[in-house]
Structure 1
Amino acid sequence: MDILKNKTRPVFPFTAIVGQEEMKLALILNVIDPKIGGVMIMGDRGTGKSTTIRAVADLLPQIEVIQDDLFNSHPSDRDLMSDFVKNQTEKGIDLSTVFISVPMVDLPLGATEDRVCGTIDLEKALADGIKTFEPGLLAKANRGILYVDEVNLLDDHLVDILLDAAASGWNTVEREGISLRHPARFVLVGSGNPEEGELRPQLLDRFGMHAEIRTVKDPSLRVKIVEQRSKFDTDPYVCLKEFQNQQESLKNSIIKAQQILSSVIIDYDLRVKISEVCGALNVDGLRGDIVINRAAKALAAYNNKNQVGAKDVKKVITLCLRHRLRKDPLETIDSGNKVRQVVENIFGIQ
């Protein structure tokens, strides 16, 4: 049987998506280095936000996990292991592993805190009198992607929980006498329509990147988008086959970038200029500086370079800073002109 037909539900190929380069770049860089801190994608309705996010998850190579583990524990990286798996490996017990697709978890708007963080398995508690932890969506998302559509409509305290877990890589649960901590290292992707309201500046600042999506105005591009979608809807497998080589090529570039990321360096002078830009724009805190450094390294690795250049910084700096300039919740997010102006003054026009 054709490899493509093994897919339970065909996903639109990432390389077939026309335009929206800003969103695609932000997603790829977060996949290369999840420590960038996720991406907030804001834009018009019907611009392919959800399609693109599902497509990037489908593109990623499979990951090795401990079989039957509830937290997708890594077989050798202790930071990605549950406490149970850690104990077993310390005792020298060999645990069998399996390869699974990268988890792609959708967080519904009506989700409760228990559903997100995990809770006590009441069925087991009532039947056997044992307090057992029932994992939530954060456990399922470990080592994968957690996607929140309409994140601007989600309760602020839930957004806070998600951002805390995404930043620390751990989820701590305190419930009715159960105290448990498990790894929750995931790429947090939020999307929304600005017409329905923005997130508070304090929460927005916690997202590593902010991509803006606009409806394509060029008629020929619009026709191309409609044709691609129609082709996929008519026969998804023909469309998948057509883009198979491009998908494999992009997948290999991402794997290579992940492997060389730790060896990429960024010069002191360049780091000073990044901080100069953040200072000139009056960006609160140092999160902006850190994210730009990480994103520029990820972009250099993606381009198969071991040193960050000024062009790498210029390409990611607007994505990393535009949502950090808003001091007043009633202000709109800068489209990037303010950032570009300061960058040109400090880096010079090239």
Structure 2
Amino acid sequence: MEAKTKNNKRVEAIDFVRGVSVLLMIPVHVMIVYSTMDTWNTSMLGKIIQVAEKGTPMFLVVMGLSFVFSGNLSMKKILIRGIRILMLGYLLNLMRFIIPMVVFGGFPEDFIKANGLTPGDPKNYIFYTLLGDILQLAGISLIIMGIIIKVIKNKYAALILALIIMLTSRAVSGFRFDIIGIDYICDLLWAKTYNVYFPVFPWMSFILIGLFFGMWYKEQNYDLRFMFGKMLPYGLGMLLFGGGLCYINYEYHFGDYYHLGPGGTIVLMGINLLLIWFGNIIVKHINPKVFSVIKYASKNVTSFYFIQWVVIYWGILFFGYSQQSHQLKILAIIVVFTLITFTVLWFKNIIQEAIKQKRVEELNEKQIAIK
């Protein structure tokens, strides 16, 4: 879904923050997969990347905003898009995990053990196929949005639902029925273990907050200054309030980044609203050539995400898992993988455009023949 105004013009600030959040994925994921734990925790690069990691949920907030920017989407269209993204998430699991395991001889034992698995166990294939990541979150969230879109009549309904998801996230975390299949659905909704990295509770609340601001923007006759202006006080308020909750009880309210409690969710939400507000300011001063690259990443967000993960995980076969301690080498890997991702994306778009053009020509030829 593209970020456009009622005049069908793309919103540059939204393109900018979404593009930046996408580009940040490669350095964050490279550090997570390749750096040693000591490098991640103590090096200058590791500390910078840890800060950058806090901005990746911008993608989810912008996803919520895009519901409004994309116009009146029907329940059917939202559900179809949700199912497609969900299926794409499982295709990504096959591409980044199962193919290397079957075709290229598998991952290092350290990688398998890091996920709490036993090397050589056939159940590993099931684990990696069903692993829940951000595409599963996006797909399920869209399906839920498609079902309830008729209920969300105004911005406060979106805000209340976001608050319910935030405030109950820790209470329901890890709940299961001990029924095979049903338990997996429960994990996708509110897991507390690493078979699902982005459960719906609490991460869908970021999408709903984006929807809240998008609906507010629409109410104000598509006034971008108003929307971005409101993000500043809301972001500051959430940062302070959530920070206070985390200070009182860090383990409950934050715990771990992927399975947040209420306070941690509110803190990250505040940070990302401030980043989006700041993005609206900085985009006016950025070099047009640099912005064109960022905009290209934004327009191809799903494909970019898919490709970079495949490249990074296949790279384990060459660079090993969690072995890199030299910061310059890690930076070199980041640069190389970024270039590879853009190259693959570029070829993919060229091939798709050629196929599309051929279909148009064939259609025109058929119409001429009929006449």
TM-score (norm 2): 0.27
Higher fraction of helix: 2
Higher fraction of strand: 1
TM-score (norm 1): 0.29
The structure showing larger relative contact order (alpha-carbon pairs under 8 Å, at least 6 residues apart) is 2
